Amino acid sequence: MKTEDYMKETDTYVLHTYNRFPVVFERGSGVHLYDTDQKEYLDFAAGIAVFGLGYGNAEYNAALKDQVDKIIHTSNLYYNVPLAEAARKVVESCGMSRVFFTNSGTEAIEGAIKAARKYAWLKDRGTDHEIIAMRHSFHGRSLGALSVTGNAAYQEPFKPLIGGVRFADFNDLKSVEENITDKTCAIIMETVQGEGGIYPATREFLQGVRRLCDEHDILLILDEIQCGMGRTGHLWAWQGYGVQPDIMTCAKALGCGVPVGCFVLNEKAAANSLVPGDHGTTYGGNPLAMRAVSTVFDLFEKYHIVDHVRELTPYFEHKLDALVEKYDFLTTRRGKGFMQGLVVSGKPVGQIAARALENGLVVITAGSDVIRLVPPLIIEKEDIDEMIPRLEASF
C-alpha cells in the first residue's frame, strides 16, 4: 500500500476522534523517525513524552523479545517474575510503599481517586467526599479522570461526571485553601501541568498544598504521568520541590513505548485504602509490560538518563530563550528540563507544528498557544542545534 492508502484506510475504519497530521510513521532510530516515503524527521515529541530512551534501543528491544518468548500474560491471580522486579524498582525510586500497575495514565488516575475515597470512607463511612483539582489540568479521558480535568470543553458533553469535585487555580494557594471543606479527601494536581500549557508548580505553591494536606489529613495526589520519569531533570518532578505526595500517578515514559501506567502509595495511603476486592485489572502488571518497566529503570541507571537531562537543560533553555529574544511573536518560554513550552502570540500553533513536520521536525502543541517540546531524554547538543533551524523555518 502507499502512504495515501494507509491514511485513507485509517480514516475509513477508525473512529474519527483525532485530526491526524498527514504522516505515516513506519520506523524509528534513536531520535529520528522515518515515514512510509522514507523521509527523515527529528523527533522532539517522543510520542507525547513517551519514548524516553529513543527508538530502537537494542537492550530494550532484546528484553522485550526475550519476554515475548517466555510469557506475555498470566493475569493477577498469580505471581510473575517481571512484576516483582518492576514493582521493587518503582517503589524504591520514589521512597514510597506500594504500587498498582495499570495499562494507561487515565486508569492510574482512576485508581488514585478510588484509593483516596476509600481512605476517607474508612475514617467516617461518608459517601460524599470531595476532591480539589486544578483549572487547566489534564488527567485523562475516562469519566473519573475527566471529572478532575479542568477543561470545560472536554467535560461538557459527558455530564454528569463524578460528583464532589471542586476546582482551584493552579499556583494560587489561597484558592486551594478556600475550597477545602471537612469533606475534602484529596487534592490532585500535575507537578508540571502538561496539556494545559506547560506550567510548572511554584515551590511555594506545592509546599503550601502539602502543608494544607497535612493539616487537614487530605491525601496529596501528584500526577507525574507526563512530568515524571526523568523529564524535568529529576526522576520524579516532585523530588525537585522538597515535598512527597501521598499518591503518585505515572504512565507515558514508564514503559518507554509499551502501554503501562501505575499509581504509587505511601505507607499511610497504602495501609488505609484498597484491599482485595476493591480494585483490579486483567492486563495491569502483565509480564510484557513489567519487563519493559524493569528494563527502562535499568537503562535509565546505566545511561544516567536523569543526570543527562539535568546537564543538558541549561543549553536547551538557552537556545529556546534565544528564539524568544529573536521573535516578537514568541512571548515567553516555560518549563523544566526536557518539558518546555514556547508561548506564541498571534499565530496558530497547530499550523507551526504542521509546518515543522514538512521541515522534518516533530513538535506538538499544548493549551491553545504553546509549542510543546518533549524530546526523547537521550537527545544530545547536536540534536538541539539541528532542531532550532527546522523550528525557525516553520515560523
Ligand X SMILES: *Cc1c(COP(=O)(O)O)cnc(C)c1O
Q: Give me the residues that bind ligand X (CB under 6 A), please.
A: 104-106, 109, 138-140, 190, 194-195, 223, 225-226, 251-252, 261
380: helix, strand or coil: coil
Give residue for cell 515535598.
243
CB closer to ligand X, 105 vs 208? 105
Cα–Cα dist 238/261, whole Å: 18
Cα–Cα dist 199/3, whole Å: 37
Cα–Cα dist 316/231, whole Å: 13
The 10 Å Cβ neighbour count of residue 262 is: 28
| Alpha-helix residue ranges (DSSP H) falling in the chain | 3-13, 46-49, 58-70, 81-94, 105-124, 143-147, 152-155, 173-179, 203-216, 267-271, 287-302, 305-326, 349-358, 381-392
CB closer to ligand X, 60 vs 263? 263
Q: Cell digits for 189?
A: 494536581
CB closer to ligand X, 63 vs 109? 109
CB closer to ligand X, 8 vs 20? 20
Dihedral sign for Cα atoms in the order 247, 280, 108, 84: positive
The distance of closest approach from Cβ of residue 49 to ligand X in the complex, given in angstroms and rounded to an integer, is 7
The distance of closest approach from Cβ of residue 192 to ligand X in the complex, given in angstroms and rounded to an integer, is 9
The distance of closest approach from Cβ of residue 45 to ligand X in the complex, given in angstroms and rounded to an integer, is 13
**Measured at CB, which residue is nearest to ligand X?**
105
The distance of closest approach from Cβ of residue 249 to ligand X in the complex, given in angstroms and rounded to an integer, is 7
CA distances from 89 to 49, 228, 291 (A): 21, 15, 11
CB closer to ligand X, 116 vs 330? 116
Cα–Cα dist 7/10, whole Å: 5
The distance of closest approach from Cβ of residue 143 to ligand X in the complex, given in angstroms and rounded to an integer, is 12
Contact 233, 377 (CB under 8 A): no
The distance of closest approach from Cβ of residue 293 to ligand X in the complex, given in angstroms and rounded to an integer, is 14
Q: Cell digits for 287?
A: 509480564
CB closer to ligand X, 140 vs 144? 140
* Cis status of the peptide bond prior to 160, with omega within 30 of 0: yes
CB closer to ligand X, 90 vs 330? 90
CB closer to ligand X, 108 vs 299? 108
| φ, ψ at 26 (rounded to 5°) | -115, -35
The distance of closest approach from Cβ of residue 199 to ligand X in the complex, given in angstroms and rounded to an integer, is 12
The distance of closest approach from Cβ of residue 148 to ligand X in the complex, given in angstroms and rounded to an integer, is 10
Q: Cell digits for 88?
A: 521493587
42: helix, strand or coil: strand
Q: Which of 148, 133, 149, 113 is nearest to 269 (CA)?
A: 113
The distance of closest approach from Cβ of residue 122 to ligand X in the complex, given in angstroms and rounded to an integer, is 26
CB closer to ligand X, 257 vs 330? 257
Contact 170, 136 (CB under 8 A): yes
